[in-house]
Each structure stands twice: as C-alpha cells, then as structure tokens.
Amino acid sequence: MNQDDSVPLAICSDHAGYELKEAVCDWLTEKNIPFINFGTYSPDSCDYADFAHPLADSVEEGECRCGIAICGSGEGVSMTVNKHQQIRGALCWKEDIARLARQHNDANVCCLPARFISRETAFRIIEIFLETEFEGGRHQTRIEKIPLTD
C-alpha cells in the first residue's frame, strides 16, 4: 500500500452503508486525511458494485493509496473489490482482523459491515488499518500467489 499520506484514500458505500460512510468522511475530514468519495451520495437503494469497482480501480491505478468500502454486511463490497487482480479486500469487523489483514495479507481495501459495527468501532478499525504495516517475509510469498496468472 502506498504509505504517502498526501495520496488520498478511496471510500464508497451502497445505501446500507451510506450513513456510516458519511460519518467516516466527517471523521477523515476532522483528522485531515484526504479522500475521494466514490459514492453513493444518498440513502436511496443502489447496487454496491457501481461504487466498489471505481474504488478498486482507483487503488489499482495508484490514484488512491487504499480503500474503505462499506455495505450492510461488508460481503458485497468485499466480493466486488476482490474481483480486481491487484486488490486484497478484507472484511474487517474487529480491530484484530484489521491488524492481521494488513500485517499478514497486505490488504489494501478495508471492507466494513455497517449493520454490525458501531461508528466508534469503524473509526478504530480504519485507524488500525491505516497505521499497520505489512510484515512481509514469509507472508510475501503467499501474497504473490493470490492473483490469477495465465
């Protein structure tokens, strides 16, 4: 993950994650962490893939250093971003999961289940996700085997 703090984060949600996404955007603004909001922009029913694919593209292309994708269960956005070869999206519902996703899996998208975690838990998970470094070493070989090859 690009650790340059001047490179923005990417954030998106569907309608079920909209309220939490807006709270996270406010929190990121308060912390002076730059981000690009890929939508949705209202609580009206929508399809998570319409927002998760552009988020994943921005991380793959280096426009954003990592992503935060939110839906009701976190599963839909996770499945979507993980269709991208250079994305390692992790469904994070506890602080320890976020820490291990970064340390061992070099996750570059944090997927949050809006219906199952509090705002405070989401903020702490994101903070840990952003602060934790990939350990490399024995984990690097495993990471290199994730993308499909021809």
- pTM of the complete model: 0.94
Instruction: Please identify which of the residues 15, 53, 84, 104 carries the catalytic annotation.
Output: 104
Rg (CA), the chain: 14
What the block records as the tokens of 143 is: 């990471």
**How confident is the prediction along the chain (150 residues), in pLDDT tens digits per residue?**
445 788 999 999 999 999 999 999 999 999 999 999 999 999 999 999 999 999 999 999 999 999 999 999 999 999 999 999 999 999 999 999 999 999 999 999 999 999 999 999 999 999 999 999 997 778 888 888 887 765
What the block records as the tokens of 21 is: 């996404």
What does the domain layout of the chain look like in residue ranges? 9-144
Q: What is the DSSP string of 10-54?
A: EEEE-GGGHHHHHHHHHHHHHTT--EEE----SSS---THHHHHH
Q: Class of 9-144 per CATH?
A: alpha beta
84 is catalytic: no
Tell me the C-alpha to C-alpha distance, in Å, between residue 75 and each of 13, 54, 78, 88, 116.
12, 17, 5, 13, 12
